[in-house]
Structure formats: structure tokens, C-alpha cells
């Protein structure tokens, strides 16, 4: 393992020097990720500022130009709890000088909602082996291929939500599955995701509903029922609160007739 880390460091130094000699930029490096569906690419400096992101990530942030990204950190783009989580992971990479791979976390999906993603973070080094920043990738989590190896109470509760969010799911069900009391369950979700358990369930339902709105011709009442909402009125109310538009307007804005 030690030899592998030493070789990895030497390779990183070589690449750094090569890119410098060729006057290459992060934008050129990121081109490889532009044509991989769903994969976003980013670079941060030691002050946790986003130095560069590829086009797909820029769009997820709701930004149009790289100039709008200048000087921004996660705290400018995400809810505080999520930003704190990202910051902790960054610091681990800085301190250990080792990659952090397959981190399951909430991130903005293509609908602008928090969705499950897997993040990889790699330290960047200067020619002397000092960490100068982080580069990484974010890709959607696919339940069919990628598993979250978190077996504690919160992990079990999340697993239940992901399996049964379309059904009548109550906090009591999560308490039973997680073997945590109401207070610990609530605190665990707030600390890890920045939202309460019921908010997590609602956002999961809206996330699924967004996909249905853009990929099917189903009526709103059907989408509401199939994704766990009481009725179309309740669905519209929750959707508008989260997405700032009605489901029908969302569908039209995205060009789906």
C-alpha cells in the first residue's frame, strides 16, 4: 500500500508538471467528463472555493457562466447542513492526502432536487507533494448497481424510505425499522441530510414525480397517487412549495407536452 501511494504521488507530480509545460488547463482536463452521462466534475482550492466545474455541474447550480461561480464555496450553493458535510469530507482529503471514494450523499439532481449521488474526491499536489486542492466527480446513485454500506439506524430508515416511499409511510415505521427513538431519528436526519425525516420522504416522492412528469404521459392525478401523495391537490401543494412552480408548469417548462 505504501509503494502504491508513493507511485501515485509520483504520477500526480508528473501529470502536474506535464500540464504546466503544455500550458493546459482544468477546462481541458474536464472535457473527458462532459460526454459521460450524469457525471459532474469539480476542482476546489484549499479555501474550499470552487475553482472550476464542468457544464453539467454549473447548470445544476443554476448558474449560466463560470464568472458567477467565482469565489463561491458550498455554503453559497447548498443548505448549511449539506455544506457542512461536504466541508468535512474535503478536510479529510486535505489531512490524509488520500482519496475519498464512493461517498453516498445528497446532491442536486437534474430536477434541482436533493437526490442520491456518489462522490469521489482526490487530493491535488504541487511538485513538492503538498496538497493544493481537490478535484472530484459526482454521479447519480443507481440502486441496482451501487449500494450504500451504512448499516446503522439512519441507514436502515433511509433504506425503508427508498423502498416504500410510494406507500403510506409514517414516522412510526421509520422508528421501528431504525430502532431509534423519535428524537434520535430526527436529529440523525438533520445532521446527515439537513432535513427532517418527513421532508426527506416528501422530497423523495417529488423527485420520483419529476421523472414521471418528464418521461410519461400520465395524468397528474395518477402521478400523485403512484408516488405516495394523498391526492392531486396535496401533490400540487407540496410540488409548488418545493419546485416553485406547479407540476403542469414544470412539465411545460421542460418542453414535455
How far is Cα 121 from Cα 136, in angstroms, rounded to an integer? Answer: 4
197: Cβ–Cβ under 8 A, 6 or more apart, which residues? Answer: 157, 161, 171, 174, 185, 186, 189
Q: Which of 10-19, 51-60, 185-194, 216-225 has the lowest mean pLDDT?
A: 10-19
To the nearest 5 percent, what fractions of the chain are helix, strand and coil? 55, 15, 30
Q: Which of 4-18, 141-155, 181-195 has the lowest mean pLDDT?
A: 4-18
How far is Cα 119 from Cα 44, in angstroms, rounded to an integer? Answer: 14
Q: How confident is the model at residue 6 (pLDDT cuts 50, 70, 90)?
A: very low
**C-alpha cell of 41?**
466534475
Residue 180 has pLDDT above 90, yes or no: yes
How far is Cα 44 from Cα 133, in angstroms, rounded to an integer? Answer: 6
Full-model pTM:
0.54
Residue 143 has pLDDT above 80, yes or no: no
Q: Which of 101-115, 163-177, 185-199, 219-233 has the lowest mean pLDDT?
A: 101-115
Q: Give the pLDDT of residue 147.
A: 45
Chain center to CA of 247? 23
How far is Cα 150 from Cα 2, in angstroms, rounded to an integer? Answer: 28
Contact by Cβ (8 Å): 31, 50: no
- Under DSSP, the state recorded for 67 is G
Q: What percent of the chain has pLDDT over 70?
A: 74
- Under DSSP, the state recorded for 254 is T
CA-based R_g, the chain, Å: 20
Structural domains in the chain, CATH included, are 2-140 (3.30.450.20), 153-253 (1.10.10.60)
How far is Cα 210 from Cα 200, in angstroms, rounded to an integer? Answer: 15
Amino acid at each position: 500500500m505504501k509503494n502504491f501511494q508513493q507511485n501515485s504521488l509520483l504520477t500526480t507530480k508528473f501529470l502536474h508538471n506535464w500540464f504546466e509545460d503544455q500550458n493546459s488547463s482544468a477546462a481541458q482536463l474536464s472535457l473527458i467528463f462532459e460526454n459521460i452521462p450524469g457525471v459532474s466534475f469539480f476542482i476546489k482550492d484549499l479555501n474550499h472555493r470552487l475553482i472550476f466545474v464542468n457544464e453539467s455541474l454549473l447548470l445544476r447550480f443554476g448558474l449560466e457562466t463560470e464568472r458567477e461561480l467565482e469565489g463561491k464555496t458550498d455554503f453559497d450553493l447548498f443548505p448549511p447542513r449539506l455544506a457542512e458535510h461536504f466541508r468535512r469530507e474535503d478536510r479529510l482529503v486535505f489531512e490524509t492526502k488520500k482519496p475519498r471514494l464512493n461517498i453516498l450523499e445528497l446532491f442536486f439532481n437534474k430536477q434541482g432536487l436533493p437526490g442520491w449521488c456518489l462522490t469521489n474526491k482526490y487530493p491535488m499536489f504541487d511538485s513538492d507533494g503538498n496538497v493544493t486542492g481537490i478535484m472530484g466527480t459526482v454521479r447519480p446513485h443507481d440502486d441496482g448497481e451501487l449500494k450504500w454500506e451504512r448499516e446503522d439506524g439512519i441507514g436502515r430508515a433511509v433504506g425503508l424510505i427508498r423502498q416504500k416511499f410510494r406507500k403510506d409511510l409514517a414516522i412510526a415505521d421509520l422508528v421501528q425499522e431504525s430502532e431509534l427513538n423519535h428524537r434520535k431519528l430526527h436529529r440523525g436526519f438533520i445532521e446527515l441530510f439537513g432535513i427532517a425525516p418527513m421532508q426527506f420522504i416528501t422530497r423523495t416522492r417529488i423527485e420520483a414525480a419529476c421523472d414521471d412528469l418528464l418521461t410519461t404521459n400520465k395524468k397528474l392525478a395518477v402521478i400523485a397517487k403512484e408516488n405516495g401523495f394523498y391526492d392531486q391537490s396535496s401533490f400540487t401543494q407540496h410540488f409548488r412549495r418545493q419546485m416553485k412552480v406547479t407540476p403542469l408548469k414544470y412539465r411545460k417548462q421542460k418542453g414535455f407536452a
